[in-house]
Structure 1
Amino acid sequence: MTEERTQEGRVLDAGALRALAHPLRVRLFDILSQYGPQTASSLAELTGESTGATSYHLRALARHDLIREVAGRGTARERWWERPAGSVTLTNPEMQNTPSGRAVMEVVQSETLALRHQQLMHFVAHGWDEPEEWREASVITTATARLTPAQSAELIARVQALIDETVKRYRNQTGDDVRAVTMRADVFPLPIEKGSA
């Protein structure tokens, strides 16, 4: 599972994955990824946690270079935090070989996908309230094809290239009509069903 592949990707080491394997840390990381720099106070407000809790977890993420303090912004009392640009792979091939490593990666991925699912379901329930231009510029789609592993890998590369190009071009765009937009691409084999050809 990879997000924001705009630069050479970072495969998280065991320490970084373990640091991220906490529901609030995943949420803080996700907010910083999607909405940009925040303070511990603004993150506390967004998450319903105390400022002390968000500060503690931000420092834990920063120790593993998952986030960093925004240079030249804020004060000693109010520090601004950001997630560096570039892709982050939420799996580590070396950790896949042990039950404890797989468990850590499963926590990180499960929490990340739970947040993404909440966002999707919020849009399903409230997307009708969006202005017409945003309703027409949104899509939820699913398709199924019968592919070989090589064909699946080719599809993933083509979709990822389009997403990478879009993120690179518009990552820091500002303006009256500009909003954060999530782009999702799920490509994986379905379970083999009895009697399927």
Structure 2
Amino acid sequence: MSEDERPLERVTQLNARTLRGLAHPLRLEILGLLRADGPATASGLAERLGESSGTTSWHLRQLAEYGFIEEDPGRGNRRDRWWRARHQLTSFEIGDLLEDPAAQGAMGAFLHEIVDIYYRKASQYVGEMASWPREWIDAASLSDRLMWLTPAELTALNAELEQVLDRYERPRREGDTSVVTQWQSFPRRSKKEEA
């Protein structure tokens, strides 16, 4: 296998330092595009994102400095640099980072941007839903469910959901369509508890 065909590493673990390098809306968007659509240049990303190539180039260098992306040696030249993601997923323990005073500000910015990204992805799907074939409309889901659980049960539920996703994850094949899977599971305060 050549260097440019090397598969992505599975997961990168965020820490206080790398969190600060990723906690920027444009960097998150760039990293998401490189993971979903593959290698790209600063100018190609700039065109897609409505930014200048200088801006995307600077953010690409920042992402590389923090280890999220790397140059794609099988493409481009000194003037036309191609970049690719290094990992499929980013993982982190929110509790650990929230206990670090140096990470709290970046963690708040990062998590708010992640929630905005989830909203934009779902909104885009809803906005273009009529353009999808019926089989995709019937297969998709936008739902929620209120449950009564303990912290241990919620931990187990999330672990089982990850296992289900792992069973379905595989390399892309001809004819595949990319599918966004996102879920949130968190406690909520009832009106009684707020009083």
Structure 1 and Structure 2 fold alike (TM over 0.5): yes
User: Partners of 1:140 and 1:164 in 2: how far apart?
Assistant: 21
Q: Return the match for 1:183 from 181, 184, 189.
A: 181
1:46-195 equivalences in 2 (<5 Å): 46-91=48-93, 94-167=96-169, 169=170, 172-175=171-174, 177-194=175-192
- State the Cα deviation string for residues 121-174 of structure 1 (Å, max 9, x = none): 11112212212222122111111111111111111111011112222x2xx313
Q: Conserved in 2, the CA contact under 8 Å of 1:70 and 1:80?
A: yes
Maintained 8 Å contact 1:95/1:101: yes
CA distance in 1, matches of 2:126, 2:78: 41
What is the one-letter code of the residue matched to 1:107? A
Shift of 1:100: 4.2
Gaps of 5+ in 1: 1-5
Indicate how the Cα distance of structure 1 residues 94 and 133 shifts in structure 2: closer, same or farther if over 3 A, else same: closer
Alignment correspondent of 1:3: none
57-66 vs 28-37, greater mean Cα deviation: 28-37
What's the TM-score once normalised by structure 1's chain length? 0.85
What SS does structure 1 have at the residue aligned with 2:17? helix
Q: CA deviation at 1:185?
A: 2.1
Tell me the number of residue pairs that the alignment of Structure 1 and Structure 2 aligns. 186
**TM-score, scaled to structure 2:** 0.85
Kept after mapping to 2: 8 A contact 1:19/1:60: yes
> Deviation at 1:34?
2.3
1:184 positional shift: 0.9
- Between the aligned partners of 1:159 and 1:94, the Cα distance in structure 2 is 22
Alpha-carbon distance, 1:18 to partner: 0.9
CA spacing shift, 1:22–1:83, aligned 2, 3 Å: same
Cα contact 2:16–2:102 (8 A) shared by 1? no
- Structure 2's unaligned 5+ residue stretches are 1-8
Deviations 1:51-109 (A, max 9, x none): 11101110011011111112312222222211123431245655322444111011112
Which residue identity is paired with 2:62?
A
